[in-house]
């Protein structure tokens, strides 16, 4: 179940996601294409989004109701316009977007095996936009492996 | 306090955890054994669980009451059977398991130093099963270093 | 937008943060200095804090009110002295510190590009102390790249 490899290489790439406002964009397919282009067989893919009001996460990919439920859960956990928040220069969704981003993360390490992103059967990689308005989000991917 | 290394190698491994249902399984020992087998002296261990209803986390390892408290806290934060959730095909713990997994993560990067997993004194690595029923969980470990 | 590299190197470093008690310490500058010292041009920086009652996170770095709001939000989400918690040997902030650490994480992977930490314009890396009293926190940094 294990393989020692003589040397590792680095391969860097990235892409931009145009989000339609709050909601999920599946980026699994784009990541799989980049793995194939990298030529990496065994190693690690590190995915990173360069913003503080969206996040990258792994979520169940079969039933879209899971993402609907997630959105409803987080809308209740971190309420838009909560009077607790003083940072609201960009609107009632400004500070909640930062909190959501911190609770769900901007950086993911995913194994690469047999030249493919080794996601579980029900795992998809999503960019979660937390702002109400559409945004352009920059994603970087770093592969290290043999 | 720093060392430059001429080349890096990749070493991949993994194991399966049979969980007894909701609760914590300490996987620190298994990870330490894999580090020893890898021959990696300095670098990074990336641990990943291939599922969307359990998580991998670092938790205080001395007092088991910490894990009891964590479980009670999350049971209150993400209630089983919450009427907010519509995705309940597999039962009242189905959607809460996905939310808990997203809040606590499925991917961990841990430094390797002197041929050992460089955990802090009170840090243990746990697989947290969020489903009520027992499950078989697949964990992958990727080491990169010299 | 992508570069294949012939070989990867490892560079390990670290530093200590003396926290003044609960609150944020910006460690971005220290990380940037270590990247420069590493000589790594393209790859990955993995940052890790060796404790279970503080965390490492990426947060908006322009308006300090964001961190004030975060602190107020988490103080309400995970209440000090909550009677739910039984692990309170070190005080009412003991167990809440563990929960906050797990919700926000102790490990971050950040891309390195052109010899620099590739943070977004508004991203800062912070160590978040969750205990009320001052603490000494050990941070490890692992660079892998060319």
Q: What is the model's pLDDT at position A7?
A: 84
Reported as a single tens digit per residue, the pLDDT across A84-139 is: 999 999 999 999 999 999 999 999 999 999 999 999 999 999 999 999 999 999 99
Question: Binning pLDDT at 50, 70 and 90, where does residue B2 land?
Answer: low
Rounded CA gap, B19 and B28, in Å? 15
The third-level CATH classification (topology) of the domain covering B29-145 is: Jelly Rolls (2.60.120)
The listed CATH number (3.30.540.10, 2.60.120.460, 2.60.40.1180, 3.20.20.20) that belongs to domain A9-145 = 2.60.120.460
In this prediction, what percent of chain B has a pLDDT beyond 90?
95
Q: Which chains touch C (3 or more CB pairs under 8 A)?
A: A, B
What is chain B's mean pLDDT, rounded? Answer: 95
Percent helix, strand, coil in chain C, to 5, is: 25, 40, 35
Reported as a single tens digit per residue, the pLDDT across A29-83 is: 999 999 999 999 999 999 999 999 999 999 999 999 999 999 999 999 999 999 9
Evaluated on CA atoms C4, C7, C8, C9, the torsion sign reads: negative
Q: In what order do the strands lie in the sheet with A123-129?
A: A23-26, A123-129, A54-60
Q: Check CB contact under 8 Å for A59 and B98.
A: yes
Q: What is the model's pLDDT at position A91?
A: 96
Find all residues with CB under 8 Å of A86, minimum gap 6, and list them: A95, C65, C68, C69
Question: Binning pLDDT at 50, 70 and 90, where does residue A4 land?
Answer: low
Reported as a single tens digit per residue, the pLDDT across C74-127 is: 999 999 999 999 999 999 999 999 999 999 999 999 999 999 999 999 999 999
Q: Tell me how many degrees the CA angle C119-B126-B104 measures, rounded to the nearest 5.
A: 45
Greatest Cα pair distance in chain B: 57
Q: Tell me how many degrees the CA angle A47-C63-C26 measures, rounded to the nearest 5.
A: 60
Nearest to C119 among A7, A15, A50 (CB): A50
Please compute the mean of the pLDDT values over residues B69-78 and round it to a whole number.
98
Q: What is the model's pLDDT at position C4?
A: 52
Q: Check CB contact under 8 Å for B34 and A2.
A: yes
Q: In what order do the strands lie in the sheet with A43-49?
A: A116-117, A107-113, A43-49, A135-145, A9-19, C3-4
Q: What is the model's pLDDT at position A60?
A: 97
Does the structure show a pLDDT above 70 at C1? no
Question: For residue C45, what are the CA distances in angstroms to B98, B111, B122, C71?
Answer: 29, 11, 24, 27
Q: Which of C58, C104, C106 to mutate to test the interface with A (most CBs of A within 10 A)?
A: C58
Q: Which residue is it, tokens 């990689």? A: A125
Q: What is the model's pLDDT at position B1?
A: 45
Burial of A142 (0-12, 13-18, 19+ CB in 10 A): buried
* Residue numbers in C near A103 (CB within 8 A): 103-104
Query: Within chain B, where are the H helices?
Result: 28-38, 64-77, 94-104
Q: Check CB contact under 8 Å for B107 and A58.
A: yes
C122 close to C67: Cβ distance less than 8 angstroms: no
Report the Cα–Cα distance between both ends of chain C, in Å, rounded.
16
Q: What is the model's pLDDT at position C123?
A: 98
Q: C10-145 — its CATH code? A: 2.60.120.460
Question: Binning pLDDT at 50, 70 and 90, where does residue B7 land?
Answer: confident
* Residue numbers in B near C85 (CB within 8 A): 69, 73
Task: Provide the token pair at A143.
Answer: 């592969």
Please compute the mean of the pLDDT values over residues C22-49 and round it to a whole number.
96
CA B14 vs. chain centroid, Å, equals 12
Question: Binning pLDDT at 50, 70 and 90, where does residue C3 land?
Answer: low
- Least confident range from A119-128, B3-12, B96-105, C63-72: namely B3-12
Count how many Cα atoms sit within 13 Å of the Cα of residue A73 in the half-sphere of its side chain: 27
Chain B nearest-CA distance from A126, in A, is 11
Residues of A near B (Cβ–Cβ under 8 Å) read 1-8, 42-44, 57-60, 63, 65-66, 68-70, 72-73, 76, 103-105, 108-113, 118-123, 144-146
Does the structure show a pLDDT above 90 at A3? no
Question: Binning pLDDT at 50, 70 and 90, where does residue B126 land?
Answer: very high
Task: Provide the token pair at C40.
Answer: 């790594």
Q: Check CB contact under 8 Å for A99 and C73.
A: yes
What is chain C's mean pLDDT, rounded? Answer: 95
Tell me the angle at which helices B94-104 and B64-77 cross, rounded to the nearest 10 degrees: 120
Q: Which of C111, C115, C125 to mutate to test the interface with A (most CBs of A within 10 A)?
A: C111
* Residue numbers in B near C41 (CB within 8 A): none
Q: What is the model's pLDDT at position B136?
A: 98
Chain C nearest-CA distance from A5, in A, is 12
Domains of chain B by residue range = 29-145
Does the structure show a pLDDT above 90 at B5? no
Question: Binning pLDDT at 50, 70 and 90, where does residue C2 land?
Answer: low
> How many other C-beta atoms lie within 10 A of the C-beta of residue C103?
23
């Amino acid at each position: 179940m294990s393989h020692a490899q003589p040397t590792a290489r680095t391969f860097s790439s990235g892409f931009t996601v145009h989000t339609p406002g709050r909601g999920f964009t599946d980026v699994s397919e784009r990541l799989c294409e980049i793995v194939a282009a990298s030529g990496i067989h065994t190693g690690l893919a590190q995915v990173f989004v360069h913003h503080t009001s969206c996040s990258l996460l792994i979520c169940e990919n079969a039933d879209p109701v899971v993402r609907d439920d997630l959105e409803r859960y987080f809308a209740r956990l971190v309420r838009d316009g909560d009077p607790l928040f003083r940072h609201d220069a960009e609107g009632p969704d400004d500070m909640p977007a930062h909190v959501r981003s911190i609770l769900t993360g901007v950086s993911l390490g995913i194994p690469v095996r047999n030249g493919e992103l080794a996601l579980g059967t029900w795992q998809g990689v999503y960019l979660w936009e937390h702002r109400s308005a559409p945004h352009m989000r920059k994603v970087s991917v770093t592969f290290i492996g043999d």
